[in-house]
Amino acid sequence: MSALTHFDAAGNAVMVDVSAKAETVREATAKARVVMRPETLAMIVAGTAKKGDVFAVARLAGIMAAKQTSTLIPLCHPLPIAAVTVDLAAEGDDTVAITATVRTTGRTGVEMEALTAASITALTVYDMCKAVDRGMRVEGLRVVAKSGGKSGDFRQE
């Protein structure tokens, strides 16, 4: 395991200097799930939530969040994001599955942007449905794929 890159020799938090890195196409995909009562998922799928189209609003929230990652995570670099996709789907009778993919051409990866998109999408689903189901759970937030850069490709489910 390599040393943590966000600390200097004295243990101070630092932003990593990426100026010497090559610009490459970089992509990352993150996933999350929101587990809820079956009747809550049925309401979402039917489009009858009082706050509106849950999937559409959550998708937009995730896209917007990816673009704000460097303002939320202190040591993240602001990146010129080329694309963000956020997919939401019913999984079984009680789960919303979320997949967020972010792409850029730059000197550092977009894993944090993908994680931010997936997490804010999940939190938006919760926010839009909490009046009918306060017991919802956000689970399984993780990076499932990344490509580009010196460290190469990474995949997991």
Half-sphere CA count of 112, side-chain side, radius 13 A: 15
Q: Is 24 helix (H, G, I), strand (E, B) or coil?
A: strand
Residue 32 to residue 10: CA distance in whole angstroms:
36
**Considering only CA atoms, which of 92, 91, 85 is closest in space to residue 66?**
85
Q: Could you please report the per-residue DSSP string of 86-104?
A: EEEEEETTTEEEEEEEEEE
Check if 127 is active-site: yes
Residue of 87, 127, 133, 153 marked catalytic: 127
Strands laid side by side in the 95-106 sheet: 81-91, 95-106, 24-35, 137-147, 154-155
Active site residues: 127
